[in-house]
Amino acid sequence: MRPTPSLDALKEQIEFFVDAVAGYNSDFVLFPELFNAPLLAKYNDLVEAKAMRELASYSEPLLAYFKELAVSYNVNIITGSYPVLEDERLYNVSHLCLRDGAFEEYRKIHITPSELTAWGISGGNHLGVFDTDCGKIGIVICYDVEFPELGRLYADQGVQVLFVPFLTDTQNGYHRVKRCAQARAIENEYYVAIAGCVGNLPKVNNMDIQYAQSAVFTPADFAFPENAIKAQATPNTEMTLIVDVDLDLLRELNTKGSVRNLRDRRKDLYNLKLKKS
């Protein structure tokens, strides 16, 4: 997070990070939740709900720009999230922009009390599970990762890497996201990558501070780091993480792990069902 006077300036910042990560032949780039919040500064005269709807006007050009970058830099981009207005309802949306030019959409399912009361955001109704040229991935946004049922539904659909853009302003909020993401990685036997905003926005009402530490978490077994953390950024510092993960280790874990959380479920006692497809 840094003061951004215009959409063009924000685009320059976006391309800087895409260029930096793609330079390492990365397959995916993950941006944070509501990374375009600096653009709210020009709407400080409006109440929060109206300001967020003004911010939604930038989402279409941002999506077009991400799609262009995905193709030109040959990398799959998870666009973090931004507000999208549809039929007078506001959603917190992330897009997966594939390097072949296609794109997918995920709408945050679980809406925090402040998102609901301050911004009037509505929850989505569909899972964010997608096939890519590097395996099956899932996308959830911030608060979503704190619901174990959702993470297990993703595992049942074969997700190998779960991407979690988030935005938290306090350390206790961050640690909720972090520890729940770690739990999802262990109990569902997949990798979890989280990316959050850092820095201050003193000129943006109600979005003036952020706290984050981006990271990639793994299952907890002998083939993975002993602390189940593949890599993590310096706390509350702007930086990038370049991380390699081995999907073959997930398949071995599922059949030969010292514990097998997915296989050892007592489905004779309990079950989990998705009501909407």
Q: What is the CATH number of the domain that holds 197?
A: 3.60.110.10
Q: Is residue 153 assigned to a domain?
A: yes
pLDDT score recorded for residue 4: 66
pLDDT score recorded for residue 79: 98
Question: Catalytic pick from 67, 108, 178, 230?
Answer: 108
Q: Is residue 149 assigned to a domain?
A: yes
For residue 110, name the pLDDT band (cuts at 50, 70, 90): very high
Mean pLDDT computed over 73-99: 98
Question: In this structure, what are the phi and psi dihedrals at residue 40, rounded to the nearest 5 degrees?
Answer: -70, -15
How far apart are alpha carbons 110 and 189 in whole angstroms?
23
276 is catalytic: no
Q: Which domain holds residue 139?
A: 7-247
How far apart are alpha carbons 81 and 200 in whole angstroms?
18
Q: Is residue 257 assigned to a domain?
A: no
Number of domains in the chain: 1
pLDDT score recorded for residue 69: 98
Would you say residue 66 has pLDDT above 70? yes
Question: Beta partners for 72?
Answer: none
Round the CA-based radius of gyration of the chain to a whole number and report it.
Answer: 18
Q: What are the DSSP calls for 49-100, one per residue?
A: HHHHHHHGGGHHHHHHHHHHHHHHTT-EEE---EEEEETTEEEEEEEEE-TT
Q: Is residue 12 assigned to a domain?
A: yes
Q: What are the DSSP calls for 123-157, one per residue?
A: PP-S--EEEEBTEEEEE--GGGGG-HHHHHHHHHT
15 is catalytic: no
Q: Is residue 266 assigned to a domain?
A: no
Question: Catalytic pick from 33, 48, 146, 189?
Answer: 33
Q: Is residue 19 assigned to a domain?
A: yes
Q: Do the Cβ atoms of 37 and 235 come closer than 8 Å?
A: no
Would you say residue 111 has pLDDT above 90? yes
Helix axis angle, 171-188 to 148-156, nearest 10°: 30
Q: Is residue 240 assigned to a domain?
A: yes
**pLDDT digits 0-9 by tens, 188-247:** 999 999 999 998 888 787 777 899 999 999 999 999 999 999 999 999 999 999 999 999
Question: Catalytic pick from 97, 142, 180, 197?
Answer: 142
- Closest to 218 measured CA to CA, from 196, 170, 250: 250
Would you say residue 2 has pLDDT above 90? no
Q: Do the Cβ atoms of 238 and 39 come closer than 8 Å?
A: no
33 is catalytic: yes
Q: Is residue 114 assigned to a domain?
A: yes
Neighbouring C-alpha atoms within 13 Å toward the C-beta of 246: 8
